[in-house]
Amino acid sequence: MVGFFKKKVSCHLILISVIAILACLLAFLLGRHRGFNLADEGFLWYGVERVLRGEVPIRDFSSYDPGRYYWAAFWLWLSGTQGAVAVRTATMMFFASAVVLAARAVWLQSSDRTTVRYLLAMVAVAWFLVWMIPWWKSYDAAISILLVLSLGHALAQPQPKRLFLHGLVVGLAAVFGRNHGLYGLVACFLSIPFVFRPIGRPSRLRVTAAWAAGILIGYMPMLGWLVFDHQFHVMFWDGIRFILFEYKGTNLPLPVPWPWRVSFAQDFWMVAWQLAIGLLFFALPLFCIVGIAVVSIRHARRSSIPPLFLACVLTAIPYTNVAFSRADMAHLAQAIYPGMIGFLVWPASRNDRVRWRLAIIAVLTILSLLAALPMHPGFMSRLQGNWRVADIGGEHLVVDAATARSVKAIQTLSSRHGVPPATMVTAPVWPGAMAMLHARSAAWEIYPLVPRNESFQRQEIARVADARPGLIFILDIAVDGRPELRYSATHPLIWQYVHDHYLELPPDRDLPGVSTFVPRVQSTNGNR
C-alpha cells in the first residue's frame, strides 16, 4: 500500500514537472525575440561575451559576481553562438529549473485535496512566469526560490546531511551574487532556534559544522579566485570598500510607490497599474509581519510549523531589502518570490481557512497580472504597436522604435569609424552597444552611475589612454532626474579628458542626448 501511494505521488510530481517545463518553454518561445535593453540587458550580455574571450568578471570589468556569466558562457560555448537570444536561453534554463522545483515543493507541502494541490502548483508556475521581469534578472529570482526550497528541505529534517546541502546552496548563491549569499546567511541565523529545537546538544555541533562546511565548499570558486588571482582579489575587496565606506549604499534609492500615493487624475489603466504595484509593495512586508506572528505563536505553543512556509518567512525578511533599496518593479520582482511561495503554502487546516487562502491567492493573481504583465516585451509590443525588426549582433529582434533607431545609428557610426574588434567606451548606461558590436570596453567600469573619487578616475583615464578607443558614447543624462548623477558630475575628470583628447561629432537625431566622440587623429584623416 505504501509503495502504491509513493508511486501515485511520483506520477503527480512527474506530471507537474512536465507542465512546468512546457509552460516555461512556451513563455520563452513567445518572448525570446522581443525587446532589447541597451543598459541592463547589455550589462549581462557584455559580461558573458568577455568571459568567452577569457576575461574574468570583477577583475577585468565591473560586473555582478561571476556565477551567472560562467553559467551562460558554458551554454553559449556548447551552442557555438554569442547572441542575445543565446544568453536569454541560458538564463531561462536556470530559471526554469527553479520553477519546476518550486511547483513540486508547493504540491508536496500542501495538505489540501489533490485538485487544490494541482491548482496551487499551477498558480505557482503562472506567478513565477508573470513575475519574470526583467528577464536578465531571472538569476536573482531563481536564487531566491532555491534558497527557500533548500532551507525548507533542511528544516523538515535538520540533519547534518541536509544542513550541509543547504550550506552548499548558500555558498553557491554567493558565487552568483554576494547579496544572495548574505540574505541566505541571515535566513540561516534566523532559522537556528528552529533547527536546534528538535535535536539534542551533541547533535547541534555536528549540524553547525556541516552547515559551515557546506557554505565554505559552495563558495570555493570565489575563494579560489581570491587566493590565486591577485588582481581579482584587489578589485573584489575594493568593490566592497567602495560600497561600504565610499558610496555607502547598494543602489540608487527611489521613493516607495505606496498605494496611497497614487494620483487618480490619470487614465484608468494607469491608475490600476500603479495601484497594483503599490498594493504589492505593501503586501511584501505585510507577509513578513504576519508570517513572523504565525511562526512565533506556533513556536511558543510547540505546534508544528510547515517547513516550507517557515523557510519562506525567514528568507522573505532579508529579501525585503532588495525591493526597498530601489523601489521599482524590477527590484520588487527580485524580492517577491519567497513571499509568493509563502502565500501558496500558508498553514490552513479547516475548509473556511482554505477558502480564505484561495481568495487571497485570487487577489494576488489579479494584482500580479495588472502590475507585471505590462512590463513583458511581448505585451508591450502589442500594446504600443510601433515595434520593428532590428539586426542586433547578427540576430533579428523585434524592438521598440526608439531602440531600433539607436541600434541602427550605433551600427552606422561603428562601421564608419571602424570600431570592431577594437575598443569602445559607453557611459553611463549603454554596455549593450559594445556587446552587439563585439567590442571591448576601454574602461573597467561599464555602467558608471555613481560618483567615483579622483584616484579611481585617474586609473580609468590611464586605461582609456592605453586602449585608445575608436568610439565613445556618453549620455550625460540626469539619472532619476537628479542633476548630481550626470556623468559630467560623477566622473568629471574622465569627462574632461574625453573633451580634451577626442573630437565630438555633430548630434545625431537618432541618438538624442548622446554625445559621440572619435579620436582627433582619426577625424583629421578624413574618416568622418
pLDDT at 301: 86
Yes or no: say if 310 and 194 are a contact pair by the CB < 8 Å rule: yes
Mean pLDDT by 10 residues, the chain (528 residues): 50 93 96 95 97 97 97 96 95 97 92 85 96 95 98 94 97 97 97 86 88 97 97 97 91 94 92 96 96 92 91 98 96 96 83 75 96 93 88 94 95 81 88 94 96 97 95 94 95 97 94 93 47
User: Is residue 431 one of the residues assigned to a domain?
Assistant: yes
User: Is residue 41 one of the residues assigned to a domain?
Assistant: no
What phi and psi, each to the nearest 5 degrees, are found at residue 383?
Answer: -75, -45
- The dihedral over CA atoms of 263, 265, 270, 272, expressed in degrees to the nearest 10, equals 70
pTM, whole model, 2 decimals? 0.94
User: Is residue 213 one of the residues assigned to a domain?
Assistant: no
* C-alpha to C-alpha distances, 266 to 72, 261, 382, 479, 497, nearest whole angstrom: 42, 13, 22, 25, 45
d(CA 26, CA 376): 14
* C-alpha to C-alpha distances, 341 to 46, 100, 312, 345, 451, nearest whole angstrom: 33, 13, 7, 6, 38
Count: domains in the chain: 1
Q: Which amino acid is at 243?
A: I
pLDDT at 197: 81
Spell out the residues 6+ positions from residue 282 whose beta carbon is closer than 8 angstroms to its own: 258, 259
The cell for 501 is 583628447
Domain range for residue 425? 389-524
Residue 439 parent element (H or E)? none
Residues in the chain: 528
pLDDT at 422: 79
Q: Give the β-pairing of 440-441 and 471-475.
A: unpaired
The cell for 169 is 546552496
d(CA 320, CA 186): 12
pLDDT at 440: 95
pLDDT at 1: 36
The cell for 58 is 570583477
Yes or no: say if 281 and 320 are a contact pair by the CB < 8 Å rule: no
- The dihedral over CA atoms of 98, 100, 101, 103, expressed in degrees to the nearest 10, equals 120
User: Is residue 434 one of the residues assigned to a domain?
Assistant: yes
Of the candidates 193, 285, 233, the residue with the CA atom closest to the CA atom of residue 58: 233
d(CA 304, CA 146): 23
User: Is residue 320 one of the residues assigned to a domain?
Assistant: no
Spell out the residues 6+ positions from residue 69 whose beta carbon is closer than 8 angstroms to its own: 44, 47, 48, 50, 51, 57, 63
Of the candidates 135, 69, 38, 35, the residue with the CA atom closest to the CA atom of residue 432: 38
User: Is residue 418 one of the residues assigned to a domain?
Assistant: yes
Question: Residue 398 pairs with which residues in a beta bridge?
Answer: 34, 389
User: Is residue 176 one of the residues assigned to a domain?
Assistant: no
Q: Which amino acid is at 241?
A: R
User: Is residue 273 one of the residues assigned to a domain?
Assistant: no
**Helix-then-strand count for the chain, H and E:** 23, 7
